[in-house]
Structure 1
Amino acid sequence: MSPNLQGNQRSAAGFVPADVGLMAKSPALINTFFSAYGHFRGEGTFTPDEQQVLFLSNAVANRSEWAVAFHTLEALAEGVEPSAVEAIRQGMLPRNRRLAALSAFTQAVIELRGQVDETELAAFQAAGFTTEQVLEVIAGVAISAMSNYVTNIARPPLEDAALPHSWNARELTGF
């Protein structure tokens, strides 16, 4: 793994996350992940808190216990309201209309494998999201799939910073 890429990931989280360490065993995977993640974070139009709502929603939809804990930590650090974070963790929608639309749409993309209907698309866009952001959700889903699937398979222990945010898929109430 490139030391520069590892440093960039470390600075975002304060430590090198377990998913990055696991993905580093495959140059094809880690390089694809970092490229997609870098473009998503650097060139995307979602705000940092919206990015974390998307990643947390994906982690819940993918039942990735490590990723839910990690993105809970990140979402709170990015200023996502604790009540919104808790709603997503429980499989429900945040009260904030825009974040609820983002969470619902990103989970629908995963659950329906991209076969969203016009109603779901219209609800997302009615909350102020653009066609470009529909496509960015797809990028976020792809990024999450890489991380979530790796941690679902490897089941790494949580980092100390994420331990207070541990989560079990059995906690879902809205699914």
Structure 2
Amino acid sequence: MSSYPVHTIESAPAQSRPVLQQLQQAFGTIPNIAGAMAGSPVLINGFIGLFERVHASSLSEPQIQTLLLTNAVTNASEWPVAFHTALALKEGVHPADVDAIREGALPEDVGLAALSALARTLIETRGRLAESDRRRFFEAGFTAEQMLEVIAVVAASTITNYTGSVTRPSLEAQFEAFAWHAPAA
């Protein structure tokens, strides 16, 4: 049981309310993880700024969702895995590619595989890429600028992943079909 409340617009600190209103408009609901983040105006306001920029990058929404799902699996954060599974499928990521990521494997789609591999490697090596990692990413058709954008996506998702792991918000009914549990360590 979590000791962190899942705030509503009404219960959140005043400085967190504009972000919750923005998320309500974007998703039609306030994701439970955002309600948990709202307990800290510093956290939720920092998150939303980066979140907005990530979604305005040169990467497509299926590519971003691939990264976010990969990051959640790599960080073994259960709420974000379910949430980003739903969004990846909604954005048109092939179900087999979504399943592969959820199982810790790479998607069959070459571009998505390059993104997923880079994100996983960034997390696992704390950003210390080998030249072969860089080369694989560029050979898949991505640019140096996009590599930096992937770092921004990893940073944004790390906020969500760590918040989910610390606050352990309940999974909303619409995401229960995508529930995921981290493998035992």
TM-score (norm 2): 0.88
1:2 CA displacement = 5.3
The Cα offsets for residues 100-156 of structure 1, whole Å up to 9 and x where unpaired, read as 010000110001000011100110111111111110111111101111001101111
Residue 96 (str. 1) matches residue 109 (str. 2): yes
Contact 1:13 1:74 in 2 (8 A): no
Contact 2:19 2:45 in 1 (8 A): no
Query: In the alignment, which residue of structure 2 is the partner of 1:26?
Result: 40
1:3 CA displacement = 4.8
Q: Distance in 2 between the 1:5 and 1:72 partners?
A: 23
RMSD across aligned C-alpha pairs, in angstroms? 1.6
Contact 2:16 2:40 in 1 (8 A): no
Query: In the alignment, which residue of structure 2 is the partner of 1:159?
Result: 172
Number of residue-to-residue matches in the alignment: 171
Q: Distance in 2 between the 1:171 and 1:11 partners?
A: 37
Q: In 2 relative to 1, CA 11–86 (structure 1 residues): closer, same or farther, beyond 3 Å?
A: farther
The Cα offsets for residues 14-56 of structure 1, whole Å up to 9 and x where unpaired, read as 32111111111111111100000011112x1100100000000
Q: Using CA pairs below 8 Å that are at least 6 residues apart, which structure has the higher relative contact order?
A: 1
Residue 10 (str. 1) matches residue 24 (str. 2): yes
Query: In the alignment, which residue of structure 1 is the partner of 2:51?
Result: 37
Contact 2:80 2:161 in 1 (8 A): yes
Residue type at the aligned position of 1:6 = L
1:71 CA displacement = 0.3
Residue type at the aligned position of 2:161 = N
Contact 2:16 2:44 in 1 (8 A): no
Higher Cα radius of gyration: 2
Q: How does 1:74-153 map to 2 (within 5 A)?
A: 74-153=87-166
Q: Distance in 2 between the 1:61 and 1:11 partners?
A: 29
Contact 1:58 1:141 in 2 (8 A): yes
Q: Distance in 1 between the 2:64 and 2:184 partners?
A: 23
Contact 2:69 2:81 in 1 (8 A): yes
Q: Distance in 2 between the 1:146 and 1:79 partners?
A: 25
1:11 CA displacement = 3.9
The Cα offsets for residues 48-95 of structure 1, whole Å up to 9 and x where unpaired, read as 100000000000110001100000011111111101000000000011
Residue type at the aligned position of 2:23 = Q
Percentage of matched positions with identical amino acids: 44
1:9 CA displacement = 1.9
Contact 1:36 1:139 in 2 (8 A): yes
Which consecutive residues of structure 1, in runs of 5 or more, have no partner in the other structure? none
